[in-house]
Amino acid sequence: MREEPVHGAGAASRSRRYPSLVGQWGPPGVILLLALAAWEGAVRLFHVQRWLLPPPSSIGAELWESRSLLLRHTWVTLEEVLLGFALALVVGVALATAIAYSRIVERAAYPFVIASQTVPIVAIAPLLLIWIGYGIWPKVMVVVLISFFPIVVNMVDGLKSVDPDMLSMARTLGASRWQLFTKVQAPASVPFLFSGVRVAIAMSVIGAVIGEWVGASAGLGYLMMRSAPQFLTDRVFASIFILSIMGIALFALVVLAERYAMPWYQWEKREKALGGR
């Protein structure tokens, strides 16, 4: 008798996966389509001028007709985002580790970390232009300043969340300070770190645009500032659309990296979700 367990199981798993994907992404997709249709219909019904509020069809046409221009400025903004986020990640992890391990550093540095978020970044960006000059680095530093805070705060919480009994047991077994950090504290802080990274990667896009608004010669933020006075509203909306896609894509990449870096954590969350039903 012939048996086909593999193909049958694969087909069954795929059939179960498709309804879940439809249930997850179907409602948001339907709402988005309805919103775009309502937007298009309202603009045409009330004869709204294109320079005041362009319909989605005009924005789509602008995305296609100005694709080379938009792509050139997109690469500039993406470079600023990635460089700034990478620096924010390195600085944030190092500072969080120092704060978690030293009370002196915590008392000295933590107030400045908090104060860095109370000062409007728009007020700091012009000073960066004076201190650093024009070019990509003032924008990169704006991204660092706006995105390193959630990384620091979340990782400090993660490093301090380790069970004291586990640390005591590790010390009893002869673990050194470095082994405590690499084997116990660092793995426990990874979920907290990724929580901060998810917030930081979204904020980094905002930081790059703010930096380009203050002073730039390229980038989507610069393109928006140049297009708005010329009443090229459809180009402004096209830039906003690309920035939204960029933020969503970077956020999705972080989520994907989190799943691959912490498969056990994802399994525990899935088990808790199933247990709560």
Q: Six-digit token pair at 88?
A: 């924010």
Query: Domain 55-275 classified CATH 1.10.3720.10?
Result: yes
Task: Return the pLDDT at 268.
Answer: 62
Q: Please check whether residue 197 is in contact with residue 253, taking contact to mean a CB–CB distance below 8 angstroms.
A: no
Q: Can you give the pTM of this predicted structure?
A: 0.82
Of 120, 188, 141, 121, the closest CA to residue 160 belongs to 188
Q: Examine the pLDDT at 31 and tell me if it is beyond 90.
A: no
Distance CA 253, CA 144 (A): 19
Cα 183 from chain centroid? Answer: 28
Q: Examine the pLDDT at 54 and tell me if it is beyond 60.
A: yes
Q: Would you place residue 25 in the very low, low, confident or very high pLDDT band (cuts 50, 70, 90)? A: low
Q: Examine the pLDDT at 1 and tell me if it is beyond 50.
A: no
pLDDT in tens, 57-110: 999 999 999 999 999 999 999 999 999 999 999 999 999 999 988 889 888 888
Task: Return the pLDDT at 36.
Answer: 87
Q: Examine the pLDDT at 17 and tell me if it is beyond 70.
A: no
3-state secondary structure 93-128: HHHHHHHHHCHHHHHHHHHHHHHCCCCCHHHHHHHH
Q: How far is CA 10 from CA 15, 75, 162, in A?
A: 9, 40, 40
Q: How far is CA 66 from CA 82, 155, 230, in A?
A: 24, 42, 15
Alpha-helical runs (H) found in the chain: 5-45, 56-65, 67-101, 103-115, 121-132, 137-160, 164-172, 177-180, 186-214, 220-227, 233-261, 263-275
Cα 231 from chain centroid? Answer: 30
DSSP 73: H
Task: Return the pLDDT at 92.
Answer: 93
Task: Return the pLDDT at 178.
Answer: 80
pLDDT in tens, 199-224: 999 999 999 999 888 878 889 999 99
Task: Return the pLDDT at 128.
Answer: 83
pLDDT in tens, 146-182: 999 999 999 999 888 887 778 788 788 777 778 877 7
3-state secondary structure of 54: coil
Task: Return the pLDDT at 197.
Answer: 94
Please state the rounded mean pLDDT for residues 3-13: 50
Task: Return the pLDDT at 108.
Answer: 87
Please state the rounded mean pLDDT for residues 223-227: 92
Q: Would you place residue 19 in the very low, low, confident or very high pLDDT band (cuts 50, 70, 90)? A: low
